[in-house]
């Protein structure tokens, strides 16, 4: 009887620990800074799943969901010289938090983590490693990270006359509020 | 003599054409740069149910992208949840045949109270299929 109780306890604990966190409306913004122009776009429909046991961390992003202050910027962003969103409507990241044991999901606090994985944009997949912060508060989870990607590595070339207005390094800011699934 | 006059007037005309091109080019450029944001309110939406558009993407994402991506979609469905996204915009999830995901609708303006379980019609721009079908920059129709 006692053994069964222990087994049940173990099962319940592992079950609780193997918690998935999800967002269907996470935020990612992109930012390009040059002397001539600053460009910023926001996307509030990012889907992400985080497994708190294994640390696997996946993101899916609809590129057409990025919105800009000016329609003209948005039209450029989507066209065949940049993101070609009619052909490549999605981008994604698949990886893991390398030091998942550093995060105590049961205790409120901010935890520094390193996320490593593969970023796919326009069907080009490259390894990416970024620092981030996981914040646990009252059972909810927020994940933030800022990192740079070189757009040319992902075949985002742009016309020649915009090169001075568009940085090669695009800053990506991830800020996602997760809920327990 | 007359040849010179013709050459002069030709030069004048050429100059006028160049100036006019620059002027209209600049006006066009200025207009394009300040082009107003897309507004679905003035567009006729493709009418479909939340269940049908989700099934369509689930069956063949490629085919559904060709049909719905970047189009104005007028979707009708049952509200499973409402929330605010991190930018403070109202988001409504519409029910599909999938137990977890559905149609993810983001309003560009606050639509007022929308009750969970009610059936609404929403018009917005389809930006793709992640786990949900994503429709944003939308307005309430009914």
pLDDT tens for each residue of B30-88: 877 778 888 888 999 999 999 999 999 999 999 999 999 999 999 999 999 999 999 99
**SS3 call for B72:** strand
B107 to chain A, closest Cα gap in Å: 11
Judged by CB atoms closer than 8 Å, whether chains meet at B83 and A25 is answered as yes
Domain CATH code at residue A74 = 2.40.128.110
ipTM above threshold 0.90? no
| CB contact burial A97-106 (16+ within 10 A = b; e otherwise) | beebeebebe
B93 touching A (Cβ < 8 Å)? yes
pTM of the model: 0.85
Which residues have C-beta within 8 Å of that of residue A10, sequence separation ≥ 6? none
Q: Is residue A30 part of a domain?
A: yes
Q: Which domain holds residue A161?
A: 20-180
Q: Is residue A36 part of a domain?
A: yes
Q: Is residue A73 part of a domain?
A: yes
**SS3 call for A53:** coil
B99 touching A (Cβ < 8 Å)? no
Q: How far apart are CA B102 and CA B67, in angstroms?
A: 18
Q: Is residue A11 part of a domain?
A: no
Of B58, B67, B115, B68, which is closest to residue B90 (Cα–Cα)? B115
The alpha carbon torsion through B30, B32, B38, B39 (nearest 10 deg) reads: 60
Quote the pLDDT of residue A15. 46
Q: Is residue A47 part of a domain?
A: yes
Answer for the pair B137, B106: CB distance below 8 angstroms, yes or no.
yes
Q: Is residue A82 part of a domain?
A: yes
Answer for the pair B82, B92: CB distance below 8 angstroms, yes or no.
yes
Q: Could you tell me if residue B81 is left (phi over 0), alpha (psi between -120 and 50 degrees) or otherwise beta?
A: beta
Quote the pLDDT of residue B36. 83
φ/ψ (deg, to 5) at B32: -65, -40
- Does the structure show a pLDDT above 80 at A18? no
Q: In chain B, what percentage of residues exceed pLDDT 90? A: 74
* Strand partners of residue A78: none
Owner of token pair 């917005």: B124
Q: How buried is A58 (Cβ within 10 angstroms: 0-12 exposed, 13-18 middle, 19+ buried)?
A: middle
Q: How far apart are CA A148 and CA A171, in angstroms?
A: 4
Q: How far apart are CA A36 and CA B96, in angstroms?
A: 46
A62 touching B (Cβ < 8 Å)? yes
Judged by CB atoms closer than 8 Å, whether chains meet at A65 and B35 is answered as no
Q: Give the total number of structural domains in chain A.
A: 1
Judged by CB atoms closer than 8 Å, whether chains meet at B127 and A89 is answered as yes
Q: Is residue A1 part of a domain?
A: no
The alpha carbon torsion through A120, A126, A127, A128 (nearest 10 deg) reads: -70
Which residues in chain B have their CB less than 8 angstroms from residue A65's CB?
Answer: 127-128, 134, 136
In B100-119, the residues whose Cβ lies within 8 Å of chain A are 101, 104, 106
* Strand partners of residue B120: B77
Q: In chain A, what percentage of residues exceed pLDDT 70? A: 90
A98 touching B (Cβ < 8 Å)? no
Q: Is residue A162 part of a domain?
A: yes
Of A44, A71, A74, the CB nearest to B87: A44
């Amino acid at each position: 009887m006692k053994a069964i109780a222990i087994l049940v306890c173990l099962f319940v604990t592992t079950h609780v620990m193997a918690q998935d966190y999800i967002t269907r409306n996470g935020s990612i913004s992109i930012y390009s800074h040059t002397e001539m122009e600053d460009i910023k776009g926001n996307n509030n429909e990012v889907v992400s799943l985080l497994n708190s046991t294994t640390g696997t961390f996946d993101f899916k992003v609809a590129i057409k969901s990025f919105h800009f202050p000016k329609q003209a910027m948005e039209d450029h962003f989507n066209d065949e010289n940049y993101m070609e969103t009619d052909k490549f409507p999605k981008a994604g990241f698949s990886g893991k938090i390398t030091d998942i044991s550093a995060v105590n999901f049961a205790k409120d606090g901010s935890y520094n983590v390193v996320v490593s994985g593969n970023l796919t944009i326009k069907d080009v997949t490259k390894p990416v490693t970024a620092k981030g912060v996981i914040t646990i508060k009252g059972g909810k989870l927020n994940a933030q990270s800022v990192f740079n990607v070189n757009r040319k590595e992902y075949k985002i070339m742009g016309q020649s006359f915009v090169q001075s207005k568009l940085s090669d390094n695009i800053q990506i800011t991830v800020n996602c509020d997760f809920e327990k699934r | 003599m007359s040849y010179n006059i013709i050459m002069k007037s030709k030069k004048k005309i050429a100059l006028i054409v160049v100036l006019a091109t620059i002027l209209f080019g600049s006006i066009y450029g200025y207009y394009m740069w300040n082009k107003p944001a897309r507004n679905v309110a003035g567009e006729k939406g493709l009418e479909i149910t939340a269940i049908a558009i989700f099934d369509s993407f689930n069956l063949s994402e490629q085919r559904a992208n060709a049909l719905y991506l970047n189009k104005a979609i007028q979707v009708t469905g049952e509200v499973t949840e409402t929330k605010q996204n991190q930018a403070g915009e109202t988001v409504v999830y519409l029910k599909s045949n999938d137990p977890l995901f559905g149609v993810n609708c983001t309003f560009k303006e606050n639509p007022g109270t929308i009750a969970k379980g009610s059936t609404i019609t929403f018009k917005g721009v389809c930006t793709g299929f992640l786990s949900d079908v994503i429709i944003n920059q939308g307005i309430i129709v009914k």
